[in-house]
Amino acid sequence: MPKKVWMYSPKPKKLNDAEKLHLKRKVQEFIQNSKKLSVTINRVEIRAGRIYLYHLVEQFGWDDPRSKFIFPLIDGKYAEFPYARVTSLQNGIYSLGWQKHNRQWIELFEDTLMGCLEYIVEDNAFFY
């Protein structure tokens, strides 16, 4: 039986509506200027001090009428999945997270907001 391991998940900073709007604009502007992210990311959402980036994945068998999916597909063939999570910490520091197949988040990197977004753009095994 595998041992249980505690995962480090930083507590997010509380954000007011003005801060959320400012962060969302900065992230969307960065995504529009990035060749990789402008194609990959379809939606940005801020919840509980965390910035979630989502992308669409075409589902195998979407055109088979016998196929059944757990959740409804977007445009009849795409499913939306979390791509990355950026957590707002204290003093302008942010933490970048990646979601595993079992829906647990792994914190990969800590830096400024732009540093975390640049890390996503770099070639690495987590963000294809």
Q: Compute the average pLDDT of residues 53-81.
A: 74
In terms of Cα–Cα distance, which of 79, 72, 31 is closest to 51?
31
The parent domain of residue 71 ranges over: 17-121
Q: Does pTM top 0.85 for this prediction?
A: no
**CB within 8 A of 46, min separation 6: which ones?**
15, 20, 23, 24, 52
Q: How far are the Cα atoms of 12, 46, 57 from residue 79, in angstroms, in the given order?
A: 27, 20, 5
Please, what is the average pLDDT of the chain?
84
> Is 53 among the domain residues?
yes
**CB within 8 A of 104, min separation 6: which ones?**
7
pLDDT in tens, 4-53: 555 566 678 888 899 999 999 999 999 999 999 999 999 999 998 899 99
What pLDDT was estimated at residue 51? 94
> Is 41 among the domain residues?
yes
> Is 128 among the domain residues?
no
Q: How many distinct structural domains can be found in the chain?
A: 1
